[in-house]
Structure 1
Amino acid sequence: MDNSCAILVLGCDKNISVLNIFFDFLKKFWPNCKYPIYLGLEKSTVRYEGVSTLNSNEKQWAKRIKSYLMSLKEERVLIILDDFLPEAPVDFHKIETYIAYMKENQDIVTISLAEIYDKANFPSTYPGLMRRKSRGDYLLNMQVGLWNKSILCALLRDKETPWETELFGSIRARKYAKYQFLCIPSDQNSPYRYGRGWLLVRGCWNGNEIKRLGLESYYKDIFDGKDIIYKGFMHISFIQRVIRRLRIIYRKMLSRVGVYI
């Protein structure tokens, strides 16, 4: 077992039926993974070969994630959400190289294994990786990525939802302007190829992804009481969009005077 990095799969009790699919795909496309694998759940305990379950009674999402992270002894963590199924053989050699970069340079906060689309990237000193501008959006993002555990914990706020963590946590990340936030230049270059988590949307199964990934044989997992939808995946009202934008602007203004909330 290589303890230079841990793999933390972020699950939840209400979506426990997706785990059979996830770990089947992980075993298929990353056999003989040498890193310890942990699964974060609230109260449920499931058994998968080579996987340790971490439980947390924290009701708030970010606080629960922090509790998982703090229970790990490894300082570097590869975070994967439970519906981020690998769709091709994982290039573990490339991941090992990225972990080596982080071991050698403590200034690297994260290496996102997905492209970040905000055009705030420029070439880094590391081959095949881009560096994020210190005021770019989504410096903190929950796509598959390697993280410095201590700094990620410092960026989390207990009461925030996943989207608040990404948006507001990215503004807090500006405090670490001298550190390096890295990402791949294109999803085509990712050592972990996946569909960016569209299998479960707002508590429903995405029927289009079920068909694309050929998951019909997992009918016992898919028919778990959740709806199967084919359209209307994302909806946020105009008022919600305005409130969200105002909260972002407020935090960005504070960050310019060195206040990070």
Structure 2
Amino acid sequence: MNCAVLVQTCDKYQPFWDGFFHFMEKQWDFGTGCPIYFCNEKKKLDLPRGFTQIRTGSGSFVQNLKVALDEISQEHVFYMLEDFWPTAPMSRERFVSLYESFVKNEMDALQVSTYTPYYKLVVDEMSACGNKLLRFESDSEWIFNFQARFWKKALLSQCLREPKISESAVSSAITVEMESDEYTRKEMNLKVWLHHYFWYPITGVAYRGNLTEIGKQMQNVVEIEKFVEEKFNLRFASDLQ
């Protein structure tokens, strides 16, 4: 499989990384055969098994992403942000089926998320995982976005544009999305499809360095599950003595 998973974050989001890894370990099938790169800025990390770190330095969001893409040897990437905490399984079978459809049909990108009313979509004849895919119309808003997607790596890099407004005015990812989406709709004819699957909250669990309401709920789940696991392990160890 000529594909790598790329998870992008920034160092100020470090308080939320444990939650991401917690849900990835629960929901992600690490038997996909794809390396998983966790891309942050400067902090050197001791990552859980299955993850490899890429440190990009403290450039802009676009600069950091391009550095990470250049570090990856595979032709394709499955890109996602670290505040997309999985709530449903991403099985090897689903991942491979989607990737094979992406390659076979020469897509520019294949998004794996729920649809939203902001997208202008049509039902396509192509299918994957037993369901027909949805195709973005050429004039759809957000034909370029940072939801979880398979991408041609070189094309993703080509689409990226530095925002005209300050990244701190909204958020780094959103300002880049806005600028890159405007550029691609005017200058490029992207062929993008969507596989409708609710496996993470598409709004993300954090915004401008703070947990959203759904993020707070999911963080509470993390704390409860870790508490229960710790108590169980202590009880089990005590019973063995």
Q: TM-score range by the shorter chain?
A: 0.7 to 0.9
Distance 1:31 1:181 in 2: 25
Q: How does 1:75-114 map to 2 (within 5 A)?
A: 75-106=75-106, 108-114=107-113
| 1:210–1:216 Cα contact (<8 Å) kept | no
Cα displacement (A) at 1:212: 4.8
Distance 1:207 1:130 in 2: 29
Aligned residue number for residue 19 of structure 1: 17
Tell me if 1:126 matches 2:133.
Answer: no
| 2:61–2:176 Cα contact (<8 Å) kept | no
Deviation per CA, 1:91-128, whole angstroms, max 9, x where unpaired?
A: 4322212211222233x111111214235111223112
* Residue type at the aligned position of 1:153: S
TM-score using structure 2 length: 0.79
Distance 1:212 1:53 in 2: 24
Deviation per CA, 1:40-91, whole angstroms, max 9, x where unpaired?
A: 0111121221211001114211111111112111111111211111112214
Q: Which has a greater percent of strand?
A: 2
Aligned residue number for residue 169 of structure 2: none
Distance 2:63 2:57 in 1: 10
Structure 2: unaligned runs, 5 residues or longer? 165-171, 227-241
Work out which of the residue numbers 199, 207, 210 in structure 1 matches 2:205: 199
| 1:61–1:159 Cα contact (<8 Å) kept | no
Work out which of the residue numbers 125, 145, 148 in structure 1 matches 2:149: 145
Identity of aligned residues (%): 21
Aligned residue number for residue 216 of structure 1: 223
* Residue type at the aligned position of 1:104: K
Aligned residue number for residue 4 of structure 2: 6
Aligned residue number for residue 73 of structure 2: 73
Aligned residue number for residue 56 of structure 2: 56
Query: In structure 2, do the counterparts of structure 1 residues 146 and 35 end up closer, same or farther at CA, with 3 Å as the change threshold?
Result: same
Query: In structure 2, do the counterparts of structure 1 residues 104 and 207 end up closer, same or farther at CA, with 3 Å as the change threshold?
Result: closer
Query: In structure 2, do the counterparts of structure 1 residues 38 and 13 end up closer, same or farther at CA, with 3 Å as the change threshold?
Result: same
Greater shift in the superposed pair: 152-161 or 208-217: 208-217
Tell me if 1:156 matches 2:160.
Answer: yes
